[in-house]
Structure formats: structure tokens, C-alpha cells
Structure 1
């Protein structure tokens, strides 16, 4: 019996030993271990997939950037970034060209800012120091605020004055285009040409059909010297034509319009335009590359004095040298012209594609040099400098015309005696409030008193600026392109030097 029980107990232990353990300690441990292993396998697989996709995405982005870079080029990327930070006008004016010249670089520099620096007058009599030469400081004195006028003694040396006069004599001087009538001739208040209304109508009527069309009026835009029809009269005639219902002017219509254009206040009083007179001789001296070193030095000194972009000064008019002999003079006048939509500046006319009624001088700054000291007379007069108000009608009082320097030079508000080496600087235009050239400063009216004893030599350096800054920038780009093309042609057809020819042989 005992043997039987022992046998069963041994058999049960044997069976239990063959079965997996189901103890509370082992069972939970094994199940938990198997669950953790499966989770790690899923996490690792998910991580590998994500990393593969991430690397593929990064590689695609890098490939796309390389594709854009090598197809468009770094220059395009820079220009696109820059275009987002500038205005349309700035981006148009800042266009670059291959191998730009120094003139073109100056064009880009100033056209982006569209700013014309102006000197400060502070007050009449104020003296400020200006550095124009490496080893010398000049004093600049404010002579008036209306116009803004400065005097710089010692701007030129005696040697420089002598060289400029000699160069002008070698070039040859010509008579002024508007000489004054000599004594015994008709009164100077009479126009140079006397034409009837019918004759003017006939001159304007190109096809002689008895009707005046708009294109016929515009075609006479070159009549800007005031000898028979001024730009102001042309504007009045054009305005009358535009108000006519038929769009044309008959002789009777033209007579009414033309008579109105000659009325008071319609033609700059007839004094400052069609009756301006002067008696002198003058010539023009080129100041660019290849000119005398004194002329180039003066131009660079003007750049330093005015603080204007060098491209403006370099592309302006040549230096005008004038000789006033005994009793020579010039009536009071403006160096520049008021801006009008119907006119175009003479120096930028080639850059414009539109027709204008007249070409006018656009001179932002005048720098006048006295090349010698005059014994008696020859003063530069500013009749209305620092007046409280300016009215053209007020220039004629009690039959006395302040613009007639022959008779009333001594009555001007400001007169400067010519002294060798002294320079005068004045602004012919006001600022437009945005840093560019604005309206004509009517107080810049000036003239030259008659020379009573001796000879007077002066030189005028004008800085030409178009009131339309985009037109000015366009003009400078055209000049830069032309100079670049010319330099390329010169390089292409450059003659062989002696050494090159010897090597070829």
C-alpha cells in the first residue's frame, strides 16, 4: 500500500516536472518579457522608415537648390533678392551692364538715391571752411539766401586763370548770339524781328491749307531763341487749339489766341525772354579726358565744391569762357528754365522719345569763375536778391527796368566786383522737397554790368540736371553704353605697337 502511494507520488512529481511551470512568480515574468521584445521590434522598424524618408527629403531639397543655383546663376539670385527691397523706379534705374565703366557706376550710385546734395547758407555773411585741395582750405561766404549764393575767394590760382584765358584765345572766341543794338539804332525794347499775325500763321501752317493743326504747332519747337515766337507763346497757342471744338485754328481763331498769348503776364513780361540782350564774345572748352590738366582740375574742384555726383558734372556742358570788352554787358536773366511738361532739357533730349514744344537749358547749379580783376565796372548784379517777394511786373517801376543793366546796374540789390581767382556758386533751382531739382528760383535773376575800363574775363561751369530723375538716369545709362561700345571698338581696332609688329614679323 505504501509502495503504491509512493509510486503515485513519484509519478505525479514526474508529470509535474514535465509540465511547464505555472508558478505565480514565473508566469507573469515570462509574458511581460515577450511583450517588451515585440514593442522594441516595431519601434525600431518605424524609426528606420522615418529616417529613410527624412534623408530622401533632405537629398531632394539639396538637389533642387543645386539645380536652381546652376541654372539661374548667383547674379540672378542676388538681383531677385534686391528687387524685393527697392521700388520699381529704383530697380529700373539700377540695371547693370556687363563690364560697367566708371561713369556708369556713378549713374547707378546716384540714380538709386535720387538725391542732390545742397550746401547750407545758414545766414547772410556766414563763413564756412571748405576743403578743395589736399594742402589748402578755402573760405566760403554766404552772400544771399534768395538765391542761395556763395563766394569762394582764391578758388583759382593766378596761373590757372592765365591758362584758361590762353586756351580760350587759342580756341577762338565768337560773338554772342544776341548782340545789343549800337547807339543810334532802334530802341532796345523793340523785338529783333517784326512779324504780323498773318505772317506767323503762315509760317506755322506747313501745308498751307488755311487751318492750323496740332502737329504744325509742335513742329516749331526749335523756335526757342525768342526771335519771333517763344515757347510760352507756343504753349498758349496750343492751349487755345485744345479748347477749340473743331480741333483746328482758323486765321481768325489764331489771331485771338495769339493776341491773348502776348498779354501781360503771359510771356514772362516780354523782358526776360524775347528782349534779353548781351554784348560779349565767348567760347567753349572741353574738360573731359584728353583736355588740358588745368581744365580737368577745375572740373574735379567743382565736384568737390558742389558735392554732387561726379557723373552729373562730367556729363554737363563744357566750360564757357566769356570776354567782356569796353561797354560790354549782359541784361539780367536766368541761367536755367522753369520745368514744363511741354519742354525738354537740351542735354537729355536724345534720351527722350517724345516730342516737345521747345528745348530749354536745365542748369541746377552755376559756378562762375573770375579770371581777372576789372579796373572799373563789370560787376555781377543780382537785382532782386533777398527781396521779400518777387514779381516780374515789379521789375519795371516808373519806367525804369531793373533788368536793363546798361541803365540800372547800380540799383541792384547785390553787386559783386570781379576779382581774379574768386568763384561764385548759386543754385538756379529750389529743391522739390524730396532731394531732387524743383522749381526755378526766380531770385537767381542776374546780369553783368557794363565794363567801363579794362577787360573782363569770366568762365561759367554749369551742372545740368533734368527735373525728371528717371530721364536723367536713362540719359546717363545711354551715355555709359555708348562709351562702352566706343571703347570696345577702339580696343578691337587698336593699332599694333612696334613691339607687337616686330613679334608678328
Structure 2
């Protein structure tokens, strides 16, 4: 956390430039493209079951499904949502909230997609409820935008080539009721995925893009009247266990309900920057595995508006 990394005038300029460019609703993955994209990946029903079955006991508990589920319409899933879906597609005949391998084999995965597509989703139900735009910081950009990029280079000590060829500055507006459930800013890279910020030199046939941010620098552009903290739910935990994120129907990733249970919360203060690594070092000076403790989210804005920028 770095207070006064940006001046008040710089913060106001970034907001002004974003408003001039225009903001759009933030989306996780468009519903219309989801089923088509899934068909491009060769994965069997058994593969899906094994992926979800975290403890490999041959049964899918509710929290196992929740831990891995972020469906195509961007809806944040809760235990109640999962139970409703099971009932609608007749996935759980005995109603115990657990799917056996035999029960799962009887399912038509398309029925899940059709069910989700038929559900009306409110903005408050989405994984991310915000608006955003991207601001260019390279040659020809406003001098303040270029100066901020130079400041980020000095802060991160990354080679200029890395910073200059990374993504533009993302500016995000959260109105009252806005949030972003806990997530990782980066993801694992597989042969069928391309890093979004290097896609110009990546495999053009890759059906999915994944973010490959080595570090994140987040800027608070205004003082928020109520809520809007950045939460790191498991920061400073000694160990990481994915299934421990959900206990007794309490999901630590849920920033609308459970931000107060997170280990670390950073209050938005205009001009403050927050800087963290998304990857561990491999011990030889190269990027290693994802740092699971970098899980973070944007808490519910209870009053006023929140403006941030990040790259």
C-alpha cells in the first residue's frame, strides 16, 4: 500500500479521460459465446467430473461445485442457486445435494447451459458489477498517462519492454451496489490458451485468452463514502486449501456478504496505490506458479461511487 502515489489532479484527469472515452459494462464471459467456446475444447463428461471432484471421493459436494463454477452468464453461484439448478434439470434425484458419479453420468451438460441461459440475471447477481474502459499509455498518449507508466516501471523494477507491451490502463467505476467477487488477476496457461496481453504474438487459433499479469498495480482515484475496500480473504494464511474458502455455506470469495471475514482489507483513499505479485518466483529469476494468496476482490460499495484504475 503506497499513499499519495498519484496526485489529486492526476486522479481527476484519469477519471475525466475515462468518461470522455466512455465506459461499458464489465463482463466475465458473454453468454452467447459460452457454449460455442466450450465446444471448441475437447473434454469429456468424465473429465469434468474429475475436475470438480476435488477430494477424489467419487462424489460432488456442493462446495466442490461452487469452488469451480463460474457459468457463462457471469452469475455468481451460491448454494441456493446450485440446489435450484439441480432441481430444475433433475440432477439430484435423492435431493441430498451430492452428485454421485452415476448421477452425473445421466446428465446432459447442455441442460445446464440451457437452464442458465433461461435465467434472468440482475446486476447484483453477477461476478462483477461495474463499468470499465481502457486508456492507452504509450507514445502519443497524454503526458500524465506516460508519466504514470514511468512511475510504475520504477516501482516494479520491471524491464521497460515488459511494462510497455503489457495491457493498457483499465479504469473501473463501481456505483452504489457495485462489487467484484474474489478472483485472481492471472490464470494458468495451457496449450489451448493465449495470454491476453501478448495475444498479438500468441497462437491465433487459441480459443481462450487468459490474463498473465506478473504483478498488479491498483490505484484508488477517489475517496469512497461507504464500502468499496479491496479484500484479500486469505492473505497471511500459513497454508492454502481451496475447499476451505467455503465453510457452512459461508463463501469467503463473496464480497457482497463476507468482506468483513477477509484477512486483509484496504480502504480506498484517493491517490493510494496497492501493489502485489500474482506469481511466485521459480527460484531462478523466472515466473513460477500462481500465488494463491493473491486472491482478492472489490467489496460492496454501500454508499457513493468508487473509481479505480489498474494494470
| TM-score bracket for this pair, using the shorter chain length | 0.7 to 0.9
The change in CA–CA distance for 1:284 and 1:193 in structure 2 (over 3 A counts) is closer
Deviates more, 1:356-365 or 1:373-382: 356-365
Query: Which structure shows the bigger proportion of residues in strand conformation?
Result: 2
- SS of aligned partner of 1:381: strand
Q: Runs of 5+ in structure 1 lacking a partner?
A: 1-150, 180-191, 195-199, 204-219, 224-228, 238-253, 462-505
From 434, 439, 446, the equivalent of 2:284 is 434
- The aligned runs of 1:61-100 (5 Å cut-off) are none
Aligned to 1:416: 266
Pairwise CA distance, 1:177: 1.1
SS in 1 for 2:223: coil
Q: 1:354 to 1:328 in 2, by over 3 A?
A: closer
- Match of residue 162 from structure 1: 12
Structure 2 matches for 1:46-61, cutoff 5 A?
Answer: none
1:263 correspondence with 2:53: yes
Verify the 8 A CA contact 1:268 1:392 in the aligned structure 2: no
Mark the CA change 1:338 to 1:326 in structure 2 (over 3 Å): closer, same or farther: same
Deviation at 1:342, TM superposition (A): 4.1
Which of residues 137, 141, 166 is equivalent to 1:287?
137
Q: Contact (CA 8 Å) 1:272, 1:333: kept in 2 or not?
A: no
SS in 2 for 1:301: helix
Question: For the structure 1 residues 437 and 406, does the alpha-carbon distance in structure 2 shift closer, same or farther, using more than 3 Å as the test?
Answer: same
In structure 1, C-alpha distance between the alignment counterparts of 2:198 and 2:65, rounded to whole Å: 25
Question: Relative to 1, partners in 2 of residues 1:339 and 1:267: Cα closer, same or farther, differing over 3 Å?
Answer: farther
Q: Distance in 1 between matches of 2:307 and 2:11?
A: 9
Q: Residue 446 of structure 1 is aligned with which of 290, 293, 296?
A: 296
Is the CA contact 1:379–1:416 (under 8 Å) kept in the aligned structure 2? yes
Helix, strand or coil at the partner of 1:332 = strand
Instruction: Name the TM-score, length of structure 2 as normaliser.
Output: 0.73
CA pair 281-349 structure 1, distance change in 2 beyond 3 A: closer
**Aligned twin of 1:399:** 249
Of 217, 220, 226 in structure 2, the residue corresponding to residue 376 of structure 1 is 226
TM superposition shift of 1:340 = 3.1
Distance 1:230 1:386 in 2: 39
Asked whether the 8 Å contact 2:217–2:274 carries over to 1, the reply is: yes
CA distance in 2, matches of 1:268, 1:308: 36
TM-score normalised by L of structure 1: 0.46
How far apart are 1:259 and its partner, in Å? Answer: 3.9
User: Matched residue pairs, number?
Assistant: 250
Indicate the structure whose relative CO is greater, using CA pairs within 8 Å and at least 6 residues apart.
2
Summarize deviations over 1:233-257 as a string: whole Å, max 9, x none.
x47x2xxxxxxxxxxxxxxxx4444
Q: CA RMSD in A?
A: 2.7
* Equivalence map 1:38-437=2 (5 Å): 151-178=1-28, 223=37, 229=38, 234=41, 237=43, 254-264=44-54, 269-271=67-69, 277-353=127-203, 355-356=205-206, 358-437=208-287
1:323 aligns to what SS in structure 2? strand
CA distance in 1, matches of 2:203, 2:46: 32
8 Å CA contact 1:339, 1:440 repeated in 2:
no
Q: Which has the higher helix share?
A: 1
Change (3 A) 1:163 1:193: closer
Q: 1:268 to 1:361 in 2, by over 3 A?
A: farther
Q: 1:425 to 1:268 in 2, by over 3 A?
A: farther
C-alpha distance in 1, partners of 2:12/2:171?
Answer: 12
Deviation at 1:267, TM superposition (A): 7.8
TM-aligned CA deviation for residue 355 of structure 1: 4.8
The structure having more radius of gyration, on CA atoms, is 1
Q: CA deviation at 1:414?
A: 0.3
Check the 8 A contact 2:194/2:203 in 1, yes or no. Answer: no
